Structure 1
Amino acid sequence: MRPRTAGLLAAGAVAAAVGAAMPAAAPAVAPPSPSPSPVSPDEAVVRQACTPCHALPPPDILPRDQWTAKIYEMAGLMMSGIGAPRGGKAAIPADFDVDAVERYYKSLAPVALATPVPWPPVGEGSPRFARHVMKLAGADNQPAISNVRFLDVDGNGALKVLATDMTHGLVMEGDPRHPERGLSVVEHVPNPCHTTLVDLDRDGRLDLLIADLGDVPPADHLKGSVVWLQRLATGGYRKHVLASGLPRVADVQVADFDGDGDLDLIVAAFGWRQVGSLLLLENRTRDWSKPVFVPRVIDQRTGSINVPAVDLNRDGRPDIVTVFSQHYETVAAFLNLGGLSFRPETIYTAPHPAWGSSGIDVADLDGDGDLDVVLTHGDMLDEFLLKPYHGIQWLENRGTFPFTEHTLAALNGVVGPKIVDLDRDGDLDIVAVAFVPDPRGPDQGPALSLPSLVWLEQVAPGRFERHTLETGGRHVSVDAADYDGDGDVDLVVGNFNATTENWVEVWENLTVKK
């Protein structure tokens, strides 16, 4: 928990009143403030080492036997300046005592982290769903579906499933009304991470923007790119690379940020430890056979995951919201001042650098007329540990920065929040998936049956009830829409390291009978 301070003004006010009522007495003296708890020499070293780059990590965020490796990993990064604010050097003295840091954490860390909080049984209080499997014909490899969407790619009102496989370099589509027909390949992109549907060239046909990692393993390379699949009158696509030589690109969204009538791009160039940024691509295209986008760095931090473009302050200009993971663990807004100038604001900062931020969605969750943020923090691709502080948070917009945080649920491995009215009762709910590479508990015993698809039902304003839709799956993406037009909300999830028969699952909502 973050430290909080409270004033002791009431005691001082009482002392002053008593002194005024007693003539000829000595002046009243307020009692001394309590002294802060002494800081041990080891803790002083820890604070000097850690806080130049990020919030002070509490000892209980990792089990005792994990701290030595983590401390020496971080010490190496600090000595090289990696992770220091804005790429500068952290103020680490030449005689830095790494042994003191190790003593501090190993003396206070728990032997094991707490067991995951149990969720309700599958299906309890939830809509009924029929699951339909979609696969890529002829595939003999396990899928790694990084993003899945319901999108009207043909512009005729019929939703298709769009899916990207990041290890095989595939952008695929399929008809959810006929899952038996499977998926077909639309285009090959090195490592597609996310798709966005937009008519970029304003020709009346819907195109696809692809965020391309460039390579799957985390690394500080410049292989990432932004790819535009331009829809042709004949029905196919022409591939254009709008920007290349980028850090690993996790997301790309569109808006007319400069108000000149065309669409610009905002890019989450996640990168890794040394390279990465929040990047704006200004549209200066005159001939769409040769698109031109000029890059502008909005923020130099690495680890940007999602970049929804929304009018956060309701001034008529599109703003940017993003979440910086890595050691920053911050949800940030960039308010559009016009002329491609932005004012940064902090929406939320996590209490420690292992928070595991994994995704955001933006909507008016509480129905009060402004935009809130839902944050998931469940990244397990560092220590592969089940962490009790992973979960889902509502960051409530009360008109000032930072937003007000509400912890809605604890959930290991949670990613990909989607704000949607799943039960069609007039308020917004939250759907999310979870990716747990190793579902064994803290003692590394038998695999636990952990939730992998969940629904947080808003049962009263700001109050949410947990529902487990599935356990045991491995998903990093979910989307929601009424694909069959029957009046209820259906789901689609992408599988990661499932079987070759099961790439994408369409969850048909059976609430409304056909």
Structure 2
Amino acid sequence: MRTLTFIGLVAALTVTTAVVRDTDGSTRQAAAQSASRRRAPDTATEAEARAACGGACHKFAPPDILPQAAWRDELVRMMLIQDGVPEPAGATNQIPLPPEWLPVLRFYESGAPEVLPTPEPWPPVSAAPPALEKHAITPASRDNTPAIANIRFLDVRGDGTLEIIASDMRSGDVLMIDPKPPHNVKTLATLRNPAHIEMVDLDQDGRQDLLVADLGSFQPADHENGALHWLRQEKDGTFTTTTLTEGLGRVADARAADFDQDGDLDIVAAVFGWRQTGGIVLLENQTRNWESPRFVARTLDSRTGAIHVPIADLNKDGRPDFVALFAQEHESVVAFLSSGKRLTFEKEIIYAAPHPNWGSSGIELVDLDKDGDLDVLLTHGDTFDDSILKPYHGIMWLENRGGYPFRSHQLATLPGAHRAQAVDLDGDDDLDVVACAMVGGSGDVELKLASLVWLEQVRPGVFTRHTLEMGTPYHATLDVADYDGDGDEDLVVGWFALVEAVTGWADVWENLTASRPAVSPGPRR
């Protein structure tokens, strides 16, 4: 269930330097006095609560990850999922808990804090380097209620010029935007709810196409309206839309590679689904005529909540592997390693979150420490199930040490952390991290939250926190690239209007580190 209001947070602003620290799987951040309360005779034991709420389905949810008042609705949600009953529209507090669940509720309420600890505040916005100029993209023909789920800098034409490609879940439009003023906008296709875009020459004709994952619905639900679309680039630069497969759950991501080593490109799709639907689906390319492409689907994993499936040769054996991020109750990062046998994979756990409320929202594969292997950059800040800001949500580095699982480090906490990418923002030859946040609502709470941040790597393993934007955490996506070709990395950030209109559709943050004039004047917010 995705609700759109969040409960309170009061934060003072301070400047902090964060040293990378190992995470030990513990999130014991609740008030100690709650755990010391005496258990009433009609309160479940921890073992009984584990059996009722988790069992073999997912990790145990400790009481201190949510405030007392939230546990009743959370148990109702667990009960409905276990029973396979769809969550009804409206508040879960209208659904009674059966008598056998009441001792479990008392267990959680007795061990939970009245309120969660306040998330660590971010420093105020400053004019410190790097110098960034923000340019708002506000299409005149569109109102300011976008739902930009994915935004990319892509060289679609193959001429070395980067365009902004964005998907708007609300209108269903896939847009091409000139990153330079006056930011001309062109609609490439109109779908249902495009969630993710990948550039790939799928038919290998020398022209770059777009592979678009389509959720099939704006609100989460169990259905079969999800689809995968191919936007084929024609000789004249226009795009023709072909649906490669449909009848899936909510498709969140799709990437292409020659998984069976037969010379054509297959596709792996992350089907987020919702409560009962979802999984990892591999689409084998059996196309003989690209006027009628044919892909045969097989399910590699049936877990719900798949978000991203980036592809890489993880073990350097010459075959493409991929990494899957699972949210929902699974909350894990899993490597799918090609076995060498036809379209089969061996799974290795890269990271398993300490509890099922971790809020996973995205991953990127990157060699963050530049030691020659790929690490994982993970964001976990999804609060849309319960609308509660979590002090443990943030940005993590999963360090590849040559085996599984990877070593986990918390780089920073960030309420609503939704997307992070590694980039050398200050031009000092190491990788920093930029991240954006998205939460619901439009009140005083959001005004105190960092919405766009960067973590400056000042020496190996040590990151200093900087706030680029404060008070507008309505960004689900960002990308980084040197769009103006001046030798430094720029940003583009999408806007996602949940409750009311926002200030634009996207912002280009032009990096002036390479000492050139801004494209046009625009202050840092």
TM-score category of the 2 structures, normalised to the smaller one: 0.7 to 0.9
Find the counterpart in structure 1 of residue 71 from structure 2: 67
Q: Which residue of 2 aligns with 1:204?
A: 206
Mapped pair 1:483 → 2:459: no
Deviates more, 1:445-454 or 1:428-437: 445-454
Q: How far apart in 2 are the matches of 1:190 and 1:424?
A: 40
What are the within-5 Å matches in structure 2 for residues 117-132 of structure 1?
A: 117-123=120-126, 125-132=128-135
Deviation at 1:499, TM superposition (A): 3.9
Amino acid of the residue matched to residue 491 of structure 1? L
Residue 458 (structure 1) aligns with: 457
- The residue number in structure 2 matching 1:400 is 403
In structure 2, the residue matched to 1:189 is: 191
**SS of the residue aligned with 2:397?**
strand
The answer for the alignment partner of 2:504 in structure 1 is 502
State the distance in 2 between where 1:44 and 1:120 align: 42
Q: Greater shift after overlay, 124-133 or 348-357?
A: 124-133
Higher mean C-alpha displacement, 230-239 vs 66-75: 66-75
State how far apart, in whole Å, the 1-side matches of 2:307 and 2:507 are: 24
Contact 2:81 2:275 in 1 (8 A): no
Between the aligned partners of 1:209 and 1:101, the Cα distance in structure 2 is 46
Partners of 1:226 and 1:251 lie apart in 2 by 9
Matched, 1:136 2:135: no
> Of residues 109, 112, 115 in structure 2, which corresponds to 1:109?
112
SS at match of 1:475: coil
Given that residues 124 and 467 in structure 1 are in contact (C-alpha distance below 8 angstroms), is that contact kept between their aligned partners in structure 2? no
Q: Which residue of 2 aligns with 1:88?
A: none
Offset at residue 397 of structure 1 (A): 0.6
User: How far apart are residue 280 of structure 1 and its match?
Assistant: 0.7
Cα deviation, residue 82, structure 1? 9.1
Give the residue type in structure 1 aligned to 2:241.
Answer: K
Superimposed CA distance per residue, residues 347-380 of structure 1 (whole angstroms, 9 cap, x where no aligned partner): 0000110000000001111111111001100002
Residues 107-150 of structure 1, C-alpha deviation per residue, up to 9 Å, x if partnerless? 11111111121112213644121111113331135111111110
Percent identity (aligned): 51
Matched with 2:94 is none
Q: Distance in 1 between matches of 2:392 and 2:174?
A: 34
Q: Deviations over 1:287-330 (max 9, x none)?
A: 11010111111111111111100111111111010110000000
For residues 216 and 192 of structure 2, the distance between their equivalents in structure 1, rounded to whole angstroms, comes to: 6
* Counterpart mapping for 1:70-469 below 5 A: 70-80=74-84, 97-123=100-126, 125-140=128-143, 142-178=145-181, 180-338=182-340, 339-438=342-441, 447-469=446-468
Cα separation, partners in 2 of 1:301 and 1:82, compared to 1, 3 Å? farther
Write the distance in 2 (CA, Å) between the matches of 1:126 and 1:251: 35
Taking a change above 3 Å as real, the CA distance of residues 192 and 427 of structure 1, as seen in their structure-2 partners, is same
Which residues of 2 match residues 45-60 of structure 1 at below 5 A? 45-49=48-52, 50-60=54-64
Distance 2:447 2:82 in 1: 36
Cα deviation, 1:68-111, whole Å, max 9, x if unaligned, reads: 1211221232234999xxxxxxxxxxx98311111101111111
> Residue deviations 1:39-88, cap 9 Å, x none?
985222101112321111111111111111211221232234999xxxxx
Structure 1 residues 500 and 397: alpha-carbon distance in aligned structure 2, compared to 1, 3 A threshold: closer
The alignment's TM-score, normalised by the length of structure 2, stands at: 0.85
RMSD: 2.1
- Preserved CA contact (<8 Å) 2:223 2:250: yes
The change in CA–CA distance for 1:284 and 1:218 in structure 2 (over 3 A counts) is same
Q: Secondary structure at the match of 1:476?
A: coil
Aligned CA distance change for structure 1 residues 318 and 62 (closer, same or farther; 3 Å): same
Is the Cα contact below 8 Å between 2:144 and 2:503 reproduced in 1? no
TM-score (norm 1): 0.87
Q: Rg bigger for which structure?
A: 1
Please report how far the alpha carbon of residue 3 of structure 1 lies from its aligned counterpart in structure 2 after TM superposition: 6.7
- Residues 446 and 471 in structure 2, CA contact (< 8 A), matched pair in contact too: no
Retained in 2: the 8 A contact 1:137–1:183? no
Partners of 1:42 and 1:103 within 8 A in 2: no
Q: Distance in 2 between matches of 1:332 and 1:306?
A: 11
**Separation in 1 of the partners of 2:64 and 2:127?**
33
Amino acid corresponding to residue 215 of structure 2 in structure 1 = L
Structure 1 residues 343 and 81: alpha-carbon distance in aligned structure 2, compared to 1, 3 A threshold: farther
